[in-house]
Each structure stands twice: as structure tokens, then as C-alpha cells.
Amino acid sequence: MTGPRPAPASRSAVRERWDARRRILLAVLSGNMLLDAVEVSVVLIALPTIADRLGLSPLAAQWLMSGFALGFAALLPLGPALAGRVGRRPVYLGAMLLFGLASVVGGLADSLAVLVVIRLLKGACAALTAPAGLAIISDIFPDGPQRRRALAVYSFFGAGGFTSGLLLGGALLEAGWRWVFVFPAPVALVLFLGGMRVLPRNQGGARPGLPRPALLREGSLLGSALGAASLNGTYQSLLLVMVFQSVGGFGWAPWCTALALLPACVPLAVTIPFAGRLIARYGGGRLITLGALFPLLGYGLYLARPEGSPYVQGMLPALLLVEAGFCCSFVALNMRATASLAPADRGAAVSLYQMCVQLGAAVLLPLVALLLTHGDGPRPALTLITAAGALGLLVPLAVRRVSARSSPGPDPRAPGGPAPYPSRTPPQGDVPHG
């Protein structure tokens, strides 16, 4: 009678091992999301130092930022289709390995052209791993509280990566600018080895095709994509101006600049877990409008301040207003983008949405850097950023009109619909950052 009793304990042990495996899997996927987001901000802090060492103008140096966004945007629509044809596991692992190798090559390069190609390549690798990671989470974690918690962790790591990158960039530059490019290599190797052990070998479901551009004709998707592109592009452009001002104009050390920019990213990482409650209470449309208004006020305030104003009167209020916009609208834009689409179209819509988010930075950064290089001080660049922010404020009006005629969005308790890619967080929207 005592023989059969160990069976329940055995089944319990299997469940425990599976739970541990899922935790490790989520750690690997979230760690990769963190690394992708770090890639945006760590290079941002290093741009003035790299420009000084290689004799580059701000216009030339900014390609290290916009190159990553451009590579991400270019390959993002192809990622799900490629993973569906080849398999998520080989695509994910191959992209991670290539990301690490590119980091080593970038640390050895002295040519701007080589560094830009490396950044394009790393952005393309991020475009392959980000949607694959989301798809794996959807497959492995059951719909409901478990998946929401997994997406919350995944989103938190993406938002926290921008903050980590700022601090890490300031520390790495003390040892030399090449470490900014080399440091991801060992991290990518650890994540690659972890992925080899826990990434699922099989995948179910139909193979996704290429996203249909016609989806952008849907009002809420187009409006959300344009709003997020403006938010991410103006955000990264403002930080670009501030970084060159603080290091080149004010003579701040890179780590001082990193600390000064923390108000532009820490609040989002803290508030993402509560974004669903904000949307449920105040409505996505209202938050999206505020998310465009607050940054515009920040850009206008910084433009109106005399050059060389003290930090607490110039940079700090502008950074807090811009970040308030992200806290209001980052998750709401993600949710609104796919709210009125059929479930079968939502995966493709997310790819198009995130592509637009990245293009916002890829288009605006070179224009702002051009004015920063050839203009009379930072004001022409700041004027362009403010104008782009004003255009971004017009978008929520169209979004709200379309949303008033559409069906309700997804469960507001969810952490944010499609989890953010490194837009600033980039993007996700952002990041922007991403």
C-alpha cells in the first residue's frame, strides 16, 4: 500500500522543475530586452567622447544612435516571418550570437563607417529577438495572471534598461570609450548559453507572413504609431542636444551627465506596473493627449530658457515634463495601437507600430544633429524638436475621434498590451529611448 505514494511527489517535482525552467526562460528573455534597451542609452552618453576621440561632428556621431534605430526598423517587419520559417529558437540564438560578435568588432574599430555598420547590425539583431521573445512568452505562459506577470517583468526590464545604460555609460567611459561597444559581448554570451538550455525547440501555430502596410489605414493604429514616433523621436533628440551641451558646452563629466538625465527615465520604469490602473481610471485617450502635451511644454520651456541656465531651472523641469508624457502615454499608445484590430492582425500590427516608433528617432535625430552642427548654438535644433512635438500633439485628436467609434480596448489590467521594444526604451517606445 505504500508503493504508489511517491507518484504525487514525483509529479510535484516535475512541476517545480518546470516552474524553475520558466523562471530561467523569463530571465533570459528579459535580460535580452534589458541589453537591447541599454544599447540605446549607453551610446548616447558616449557620443561626445567618441566624437572628440575620432574627430567627428555631432551630425556624424549621431549615426551611432540613428543607425541602431534604422537597423531595428528595417528588419522588424521581417522578424516574425523569418522566425516562422526557420524557427524561433535558431533565429533568436543566431541573433544573440551575432549581437555578441558585433560588439567585439565594434570595440576594435576606429572607423565611423565600421561603427555605423555595427550599430545597424545590432539594431537588426534586436529586431529579431524582441518579437521572438514576446511570442515565446505568449506560448509558454498561460493566458491570464501568469502571462500578465511575465509581460510586466519583460516590460519592466525594457524600461529599466534605459536607466541602466545611462549609468553604465558614465562608468564605462572612465575606462575608455571602446568599452561602450565591447561590454555587451560577455552579457550576450551568457544569455546565449542560457537560451541554449531553456528556449523551446518547438513552436505551434501558423507561420506569420509579412505585415500588410494596408493595416496602417486603420485609424487607431496609424494615429498611435504617429504619436509614438513623435514621442520617441523628440525624446531622443532632446537628450542628444542635452548630452552635447552638458559635455561639450558645460564641461560636465560623462557620469555627471548620466546622473542629470536620470529624471528622464526612472519614473517610467517605476510606473509601468501601474499603467493598467491609470488607463482603467482615466481612459487611454485622455492619457495619450496628456502624453503629447507634457513633452511639448517641456520642449518649449527649455527653448525659452536662456542658454547656460542652472540645471534646476533649465534641464530638470524639461526632463520631468517629457518623462511625465511617457508615464501617461507609453503603455496607452501600445494598447490603443491594436485595440480595434482583429486578433489575427494584431501581431503584424505590433511590428508595424514598433517600426514607426523606431523610424521616429531614425528620421528626426539626423535633422536635429544637422542643426546642432551647423546652426548658431542649440536653439535651431530645439526649435525643430518643439515643432515636431507640436505636430505630435495634433495626433491624439484624430486617435480619440477614431476610438470613439471603435470597440473597447484590451483588458485594462494587462501591463500594457504589446510589450515595448527598445524604442527608448525607445521604443519601446520607446522606447523610444525606444
| pLDDT tens string 105-119 | 999 998 999 999 999
Q: What is the pLDDT of residues 94-153, one digit of tens each?
A: 999 999 999 999 999 989 999 999 999 999 999 999 888 888 888 888 877 888 788 888
As a whole-number percent, the residues of the chain with pLDDT over 90 amount to 50
Please tell me the predicted confidence (pLDDT) of residue 426: 36
Could you give the CA distance from residue 44 to residue 199 in angstroms, rounded to a whole number?
32
* CA count, 13 A, side-chain hemisphere, 276: 17
Average pLDDT for the chain: 83
Read off the pLDDT of each residue in 236-261 and give the average, rounded to a whole number.
Answer: 92
- Residue 362 vs residues 141, 209, 369, 396, 427: alpha-carbon distances, Å: 34, 25, 11, 22, 12
Q: Which of 1-10, 21-30, 92-101, 310-319 has the lowest mean pLDDT?
A: 1-10
Question: 344 pLDDT exceeds 50?
Answer: yes
Least confident piece of the model among 186-195, 201-210, 334-343, 424-433: 424-433
Q: How far apart are CA 270 and CA 288, in angstroms?
A: 19
Please give the distance of CA 215 from its chain centroid, rounded to a whole number: 22
Cβ atoms of 193 and 67 within 8 Å: the answer is no
Query: What contacts 24+ positions apart, CB below 8 Å, involve 279-287?
Result: 279/331, 279/332, 279/335, 279/412, 280/412, 280/413, 284/332, 284/335, 284/336, 284/339, 284/403, 284/409, 285/336, 285/396, 285/399, 285/400, 285/403, 287/328, 287/329, 287/332
- pLDDT, position 375: 87
What pLDDT does residue 88 have? 86
pLDDT in tens, 156-172: 888 788 889 999 999 99
CA distances in angstroms from 353 to 58, 78, 284, 412, listed in the order given: 29, 13, 17, 20
pLDDT 10s digits, 37-56 = 899 999 999 999 999 999 99
- 252's enclosing H/E stretch is none
In whole angstroms, give the CA distance from residue 29 to residue 429: 18
**For residue 427, how far is the Cα from the chain centroid?**
3
The confidence score (pLDDT) of residue 312 equals 93
Taking the CA atoms of 289, 382, 299 and 71 in sequence, report the sign of the dihedral they define: positive
405 pLDDT above the threshold of 80: no
pLDDT in tens, 326-342: 999 988 888 888 777 77
The pLDDT assigned to 348 comes to 80
- Helix H, strand E, coil C: the string for 4-50 is CCHHHHHHHHHHHHHHHHHHHHHHHHHHHHHHHHHHHHHHHHHHHHH
C-alpha 130/C-alpha 33 separation (Å) is: 7
Q: What local confidence, expressed as pLDDT, does residue 433 receive?
A: 35
In three-state secondary structure terms, 425 is coil
Please say whether the beta carbons of 356 and 229 come within 8 A: yes
Here the cell at position 168 is 553604465
CA distance 17 to 26: 14
10 pLDDT above the threshold of 50 = no
Under 8 Å CB-to-CB from 252, ≥6 apart: which residues? 246, 260
CB count in 10 Å sphere of residue 174: 10
Provide mean pLDDT across the span 250-278: 87
- DSSP line for 79-92: HHHHHHHH-HHHHH
CA atoms within 13 A on the CB side of 387: 9
Q: Flag whether pLDDT at 301 surpasses 90.
A: yes
Residue 428 forms beta bridges with which residues?
A: 430, 431
Classify residue 142 by its DSSP letter: P
Closest of 337, 278, 261, 26 to residue 156, by C-alpha: 26
With beta carbons less than 8 A apart as the criterion, state whether 230 and 398 touch: no
